[in-house]
């Protein structure tokens, strides 16, 4: 997903972003396993929350009020759309877009597909 016109202070705060991504994962029904966030100089944050079902990743450009977020899940129990909508609201995005890309759909890649 892409988030535009977000809270610029939030986009440069790795601790707050970590909290938001962990909460988003839990709200989606995912199981958090690990997390790592890095703040760049002079600004910007990259972070990942590893979940048992895959991961959530964010990279921010506070100077532009912009963030890119990937919510990668497997299985049928995690609701990535819930995490995405909740993140857009909490990050104060005036504009956001989401694209769903289904993976593992090639014959023989994942059993049962």
Active-site entry in 59, 64, 95, 97:
59
Whether 6 sits among the annotated catalytic residues: the reply is no
pLDDT of 92 > 90? The answer is yes
Question: Residue 105: what pLDDT?
Answer: 73
pLDDT of 73 > 60? The answer is yes
Antiparallel, parallel or unpaired: β 32-39 and 45-51:
antiparallel
Residues 6+ apart with CB under 8 A from 46: 37, 38, 40, 57, 58, 59, 60
Whether 59 sits among the annotated catalytic residues: the reply is yes
Q: What are the tens digits of pLDDT across the range 19-57?
A: 999 999 999 999 999 999 999 999 999 999 999 999 999
Whether 74 sits among the annotated catalytic residues: the reply is yes
State what percent of residues in the chain have pLDDT above 90: 81
pLDDT of 7 > 70? The answer is yes
Active-site entry in 19, 38, 74, 95:
74
pLDDT of 113 > 70? The answer is no
Domains and CATH numbers, the chain: 2-97 (3.60.90.10)
């Amino acid at each position: 997903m892409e988030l535009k016109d977000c809270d610029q202070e939030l986009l440069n705060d790795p601790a707050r972003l970590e909290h938001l991504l962990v909460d988003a994962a839990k709200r989606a029904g995912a199981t958090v396993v690990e997390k790592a966030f890095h703040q760049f100089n002079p600004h910007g944050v990259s972070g990942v929350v590893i979940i048992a079902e895959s991961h959530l990743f964010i990279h921010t450009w506070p100077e532009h009020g912009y963030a890119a977020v990937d919510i990668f899940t497997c299985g049928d129990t995690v609701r990535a759309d819930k995490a995405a909508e909740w993140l857009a609201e909490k990050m104060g995005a005036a504009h956001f877009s989401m694209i769903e890309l289904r993976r593992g759909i090639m014959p023989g890649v994942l059993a049962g597909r």
